[in-house]
Amino acid sequence: MQSRPQTPQGKCLRAIAAAVALLLTVPTSRAQQPGSDDAAQQAFNNSCRTCHSVKEGDNRLGPNLNKIVGRKAGALPNYNYSSSMKEAGFVWDQDKLTRFMLKPDEVVSGNKMQPYGGVSAEEAGKIVAYLQAASQ
């Protein structure tokens, strides 16, 4: 069936060459530096950016998260929050944000942050750091 018959050795070399080429094209993985800004941004991009921007006024499916640490929950005037979020009645701090990422319903019962896949505790920590850094 093959147009160019190959020896098993030739196939093996080609496989190695393909693997090397692949390695060269993949940018050095940023997520491998725990705690670095890049890793934090990556975690945000992976888990939140589909729905959230950190730019002021830039609401998407979710409200923008500009200066979210220290911002009152459900308080943006131009975003249509669920009534649970509007009436949450607290100010986001690092602890609240981390817990919201891990278990949204335990922090604001009845919120409409759906369909949100969740993050690990480690990622949540990175994302809070990113949100703070991105809002300065």
Q: Any contact of residue 31 with ligand HEC (CB under 6 A)?
A: no
Q: Any contact of residue 134 with ligand HEC (CB under 6 A)?
A: no
Query: DSSP for 68-101?
Result: -TTPBTT--TTS---HHHHT---B--HHHHHHHH
Q: Any contact of residue 85 with ligand HEC (CB under 6 A)?
A: yes
Residue 64 Cα distances to 50, 67, 71, 119, 128, angstroms? 11, 9, 11, 19, 14
Question: Among 39, 40, 54, 101, which residue sits at the site for ligand HEC (rule: CB under 6 A)?
Answer: 101
Residues that bind ligand HEC (CB under 6 A): 47-48, 50-52, 61-63, 65, 68, 73-74, 76, 81-82, 84-85, 92, 97, 100-101, 111-113, 115-116, 119, 127
